[in-house]
């Protein structure tokens, strides 16, 4: 009984932690440059993108061995592109931390191709680089996903990916555009009249120092004028956190009830034992003496009082 109570108490502390884990949150402030502009962590953006094609998708702990994730959906349009791969790499640094060097986590040659193959010999379809398919881009806008303009431009042909270079490129764009770096959707454009000229960065080598020549590419500004404020990072409890609190409360209640029941039964047992304890046998010497004298037929001896009384006087 005692071991069961100890187990339940341990579960009441462990279960809330397990269920309340939110893998979309960053372990340090190394990704604040992204969160402060987008309004959510790169992990949250990546999860929302994947959920558009698979509502059951839930971001877990990404593998530190790149690629951190794979595009393994049956309808793979949401993740079968270089933008989703870049977000997964941003998310990996978010989960693992920026590191003592502050350089984040890079991907080696061929990592992007492994991401698209999802562990099989065939690639996902339809694979696109530097863009989404038309209907996925429409879905991105309809769901108010803020995809940074530079995700449409950063790409390494050999499948590698570099965190520091990508971060610095985005920070430079943010400074130049006044954080208006989401012009592929009217709903995420702060000023529809702002210029969205940018340079397409096509990198054919595995190091940022060997950049190929930049080819200017113009993106037309959205025709609809829309002004929106940056969404604030959500502080509400996630479904996992709520489930953890509920399960922990139930486990704690059961544990305390069993403790009370155990102590209550123990008190009842002590009381019952005290009520049924046998009455001690007491020998009555006087009655025993009388019964003994009657049985044996012996003459009754005078008592001490009779011995002290004087004999009666004789008078004529």
Same domain assignment for residues 230 and 257? no
If asked whether residues 146 and 193 sit together in one domain, one would say yes
Is residue 230's pLDDT more than 60?
no
Query: Predicted confidence band at 315 (pLDDT cuts at 50, 70, 90)?
Result: low
Residue 13 has pLDDT above 90, yes or no: no
> 290 in a domain, yes or no?
no
- The predicted model gives 60-82 an average pLDDT of 95
pTM of the predicted model as reported, rounded to 2 decimal places: 0.60
Boundaries of domain holding 11: 1-22+238-267
Query: Which has the higher per-residue pLDDT, 177 or 271?
Result: 177
Task: Report which of 176, 165, 72 is spatially closest to residue 124, judged by C-alpha positions.
Answer: 72
Given a cut of 80, whether residue 210 has pLDDT beyond it is no
Does residue 97 register a pLDDT over 90?
yes
Give the mean model confidence (pLDDT) for residues 253-268.
80
Q: For residue 17, what pLDDT is reported?
A: 44
Regarding whether 168 and 250 lie in a shared domain, the answer is no
Q: How confident is the model at residue 222 (pLDDT cuts 50, 70, 90)?
A: very low
Q: Which of 215, 236, 257 is the last residue of a domain?
A: 236
Residues 81 and 41 in one domain: yes
14-48 confidence digits (pLDDT tens)? 544 444 579 999 999 999 999 999 999 999 999 99
64 token code pair: 């530190």
Q: Please indicate, yes or no, whether residues 209 and 249 belong to a single structural domain of this protein.
A: no
Comparing C-alpha atoms, which of 30, 64, 268 is closest to residue 164? 30
Within a domain: 275: no
Quick one: 242 and 256 in the same domain? yes
Average pLDDT of every residue of the chain? 76
Top-confidence range, 95-99, 117-121, 123-127, 271-275: 95-99
Q: What percent of the chain has pLDDT over 70?
A: 60
- Interatomic CA distance for residues 156 and 202, integer angstroms: 7
Residue 178 in domain: yes
**Tokens 């025993």 — which residue?**
288
Q: What is the pLDDT of residue 292?
A: 47
* Kind and range of the H or E run holding 306: helix 304-308
Cβ(111)–Cβ(145) below 8 Å: no
Looking at the fold, whether 31 and 69 belong to one and the same domain comes out as yes
Residues 135 and 229 in one domain: yes
Asked if 155 and 118 sit in the same domain, the reply is yes
| Cα torsion angle, 111, 78, 238, 248, sign | negative
Q: CA 125, CA 116: separation in Å to the nearest integer?
A: 9
Whether 273 is in a domain gets the answer: no
- 179: DSSP letter: T
The 10 Å Cβ neighbour count of residue 284 is 9
Q: What is the mean pLDDT of residues 142-147?
A: 97
Mark whether 138 and 58 lie in a shared domain.
Answer: yes
CA-CA-CA-CA dihedral for 102, 103, 104, 106, to nearest 10: -170
pLDDT digits (tens, 9 = 90+) for 169-189: 999 999 999 888 999 998 776
In a domain, 279, yes or no: no
Q: How many domains does the chain have?
A: 2
Residue 138, pLDDT score: 97
For residue 218, being part of any structural domain is answered with: yes
């Amino acid at each position: 009984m005692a071991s069961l109570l100890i187990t339940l108490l341990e579960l009441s502390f462990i279960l809330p932690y397990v269920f309340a884990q939110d893998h979309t949150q960053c372990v340090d402030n190394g990704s604040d440059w992204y969160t402060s502009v987008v309004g959510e962590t790169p992990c949250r953006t990546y999860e929302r993108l994947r959920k558009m094609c698979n509502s059951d998708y839930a971001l877990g702990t990404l593998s530190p061995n790149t690629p951190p994730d794979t595009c393994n959906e049956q309808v793979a349009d949401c993740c079968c592109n270089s933008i989703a791969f870049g977000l997964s790499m941003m998310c990996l640094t978010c989960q693992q931390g920026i590191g003592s060097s502050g350089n984040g986590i890079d991907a080696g040659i061929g990592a992007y191709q492994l991401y698209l193959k999802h562990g099989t010999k065939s690639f996902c379809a339809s694979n696109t680089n530097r863009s989404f398919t038309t209907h996925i881009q429409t879905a991105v806008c309809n769901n108010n996903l803020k995809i940074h303009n530079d995700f449409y431009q950063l790409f390494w042909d050999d499948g590698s990916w570099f965190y520091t270079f990508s971060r610095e490129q985005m920070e430079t764009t943010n400074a130049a555009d006044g954080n208006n770096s989401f012009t592929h959707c009217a709903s995420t454009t702060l000023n529809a009249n702002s210029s969205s000229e940018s340079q397409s960065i096509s990198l054919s080598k595995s190091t940022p120092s060997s950049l190929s020549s930049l080819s200017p590419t113009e993106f037309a500004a959205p025709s609809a004028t829309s002004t929106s404020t940056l969404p604030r990072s959500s502080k509400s409890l996630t479904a996992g956190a709520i489930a953890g609190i509920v399960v922990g409360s139930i486990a704690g209640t059961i544990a305390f009830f069993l403790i009370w029941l155990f102590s209550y039964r123990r008190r009842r047992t002590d009381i019952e034992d005290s009520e049924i304890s046998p009455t001690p046998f007491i020998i009555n010497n006087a009655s025993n003496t009388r019964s003994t004298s009657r049985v044996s037929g012996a003459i009754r001896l005078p008592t001490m009082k009779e011995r002290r009384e004087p004999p009666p006087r004789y008078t004529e």
